[in-house]
Amino acid sequence: MLNEAQWDTIDTLIAWLDGANGRDRQEITLRMMKLAEEVGEVTQAWIGFTGQNPRKGHSHSLDDVRDELCDVIITAAVALGTVTDDPGAVLDAALQRIAARRLTPVQDA
């Protein structure tokens, strides 16, 4: 979960994007689509880290993978903050739901 200072930074990024691009439906759609781009970059970095592509070899480091994962988290937080007034509370509630679902023992049938 992001702390208050991190959410403040996300709010600053959202305000900057809003100032530059507005916040109409198209802009919101593009912010959502940006997530797919960032996930693709994680994939590219992981493939490069593992050397899976023999033509390119080991083209990325684990630090590259970590940086790209952070980009995904930040981009998702910006997207979430774009569509809700309290993204921290929304994220906390979602995390609690997921944790409760996953951490609850499976009942025998």
**pLDDT per position as a tens digit, 13-46:** 999 999 999 999 999 999 999 999 999 999 999 9
CA distance to 12, 30, 49, 83, 102, per residue, from 109 (Å)? 50, 45, 43, 40, 17
pLDDT band, residue 2 (cuts 50/70/90): very high
With respect to residue 82, please indicate whether it lies within any of the assigned structural domains.
yes
Number of structural domains (the chain) is 1
With respect to residue 29, please indicate whether it lies within any of the assigned structural domains.
yes
The DSSP secondary-structure symbol of 95 reads: H
With respect to residue 108, please indicate whether it lies within any of the assigned structural domains.
no
Within 13 Å of residue 6, how many CA atoms lie on the same side as its CB? 11
pLDDT tens, residue by residue, 75-89? 999 999 999 999 999
Query: What ranges in the chain are assigned the alpha helix state H?
Result: 4-21, 25-50, 62-83, 87-103
User: CA 40 to CA 47: how far, in whole Å?
Assistant: 11
